[in-house]
Amino acid sequence: MRIIYFVILVAIYLSSQTAFCQSLPTGQEVQYNPITTAVPFLTITPDSRHGSMGDAGVATSADANAQHWNASKFAFVQDKFGFALSYTPWLRQLVNDINLAYLSGYYQIDQYQTVGASLRYFSMGDILLTDQNGSSLANVSPNEFAFDFSYARKLSDNFSGGVALRYIRSDLSGGIGAESYTPAHTFATDVSFYYKRNFGKSDNDQSISAGINLSNIGGKISYDDGQNKEFLPANMRLGTSYSKQIDNYNSISLSFDINKLMVPTPQINADADNTSGGIVLPDNSSNRSVISSIFGSFSDAPGGFKEEMQEINFSTGIEYWYNRQFSVRGGYFHESEYKGNRKFFSTGLGVKMNICSIDFSYLIPIHQNNPLANTVRFTLLFDVQSFVRNKEQ
């Protein structure tokens, strides 16, 4: 029973990263070789605004969800403090009880310093365990969460830096079989930078920004007291954004991101003519250190430079605001068919009221029968400062 139970858990766990893979390409020089890591929930877009812009967000304007994308953006927030709550039903084409909840906020200490925090909770639903005879044994609820705290500081009028410390807990056993599989714990950190410059006739009707975030850099994680260790999804995200205030009522922004996982590429590939859709699992016995793996991840692909380029994901998004109250967004995300084949469009709407904003996003995959189809996200952003002003009045 224990072996069957573990296989079920691993299948659900990896589904959030690999379920959207399509059939293996045939007749190509580069083989199908996706990268998988532990705790992939850390890479899922948690909020609606950036989810509707093709997952582009490292250089967008600062809001309460900057903790996930680029904590250094907090140094450029306009309000004293604020927070946001997001909810994402995940992989609803496969199951109906997996979801991601995200709470994030910030507090501006002064004009140079801002602190932020967030809590991310990923529920994998309920699993009924049975023995070989089909008799019920127990219900388990595997889950993962991460809590982080960040500090951002302006280093000049146009440039800021930020760091975030993250605690990660992953419980795939649901409290059963603890003698073999225990909840995994580890710490990680993010290091980020953000640049923004205003220009134009009035010195503020246009702006260009750029950002970089090195995230989830930390120790390996283990579910069996260190016998096997897996890499965290260390990631490099960098991008740029351009915004223009067209007139007193209309504004628009364009954003572009690239992403690269900084973990080892599996060295054992599926056969080039394999069309079964098989998945290459990571080599958990790797003795490479985290730092060595980060630097080596830019040159360790078995397919050479061509495969390294295929490990880079692209995101692009557009955001339109009318009267700073109504927004329409759209975007596109691209991942190589050899590395997971996530290709989708996204769209969304936003409405800003006196003390809060409501955002909604919807994902449209390019391929049919994709488990990511019809993914929706909901976000509430609260402007606490406006609420306080209204109470005082």
Assess contact for 390 and 355: CB atoms under 8 A.
yes
**The pLDDT value given to residue 229:** 86
Alpha carbon distances (Å) from 35 to 15, 259, 260, 276, 338: 13, 13, 11, 18, 10
Low-confidence ranges of the chain (pLDDT < 70): 1-30, 129-131, 137, 174-180, 203-204, 268-286, 384-393
- Go through 111-137 and write b for each residue having 16 or more CB atoms within 10 A of its CB, e for each that does not: eeebbbbbebebbbbebebeeeeeeee
Put simply, whether the predicted model's pTM sits higher than 0.95 gets the answer: no
Q: What confidence tens digit (pLDDT) does each residue in 137-180 have? A: 677 788 999 999 999 999 999 999 999 999 999 988 765 554 56
Alpha carbon distances (Å) from 265 to 60, 299, 307: 30, 9, 10
Exposed, middle or buried by CB within 10 Å (0-12, 13-18, 19+), for 295?
Answer: exposed
**The pLDDT value given to residue 203:** 60
3-state SS, the chain, equals: CHHHHHHHHHHHHHHHHHCCCCCCCCCCCCCCCCCCCCCHHHHCCCCHHHHCCCCCCCCCCCCCCHHHHCHHHHHHCCCCEEEEEEEEECCCCCCCCCEEEEEEEEEECCCCEEEEEEEEEEECCCEEEECCCCCEEEEECCEEEEEEEEEEEECCCCEEEEEEEEEEEEECCCCCCCCCCCCEEEEEEEEEEEEEEEECCCCCCEEEEEEEEEEEEECCECCCCCCCCECCCCEEEEEEEEEEECCCCEEEEEEEEEEEECCCCCCCCCCCCCCCCCCCCCCCCCCCCHHHHHHHCCCCCCCCHHHHHHCEEEEEEEEEEECCCEEEEEEEEECCCCCCCCEEEEEEEEEECCCEEEEEEEEEECCCCCCCCCCEEEEEEECHHHHHHHHHC
Give the count of beta carbons closer than 10 Å to the beta carbon of residue 363: 25
**The pLDDT value given to residue 140:** 79
Fold of 2-392: Porin (2.40.160)
**The pLDDT value given to residue 26:** 43
Partnered with residue 82 across adjacent β-strands are 106
**The pLDDT value given to residue 361:** 96
**The pLDDT value given to residue 131:** 63
**The pLDDT value given to residue 388:** 52
**The pLDDT value given to residue 138:** 72
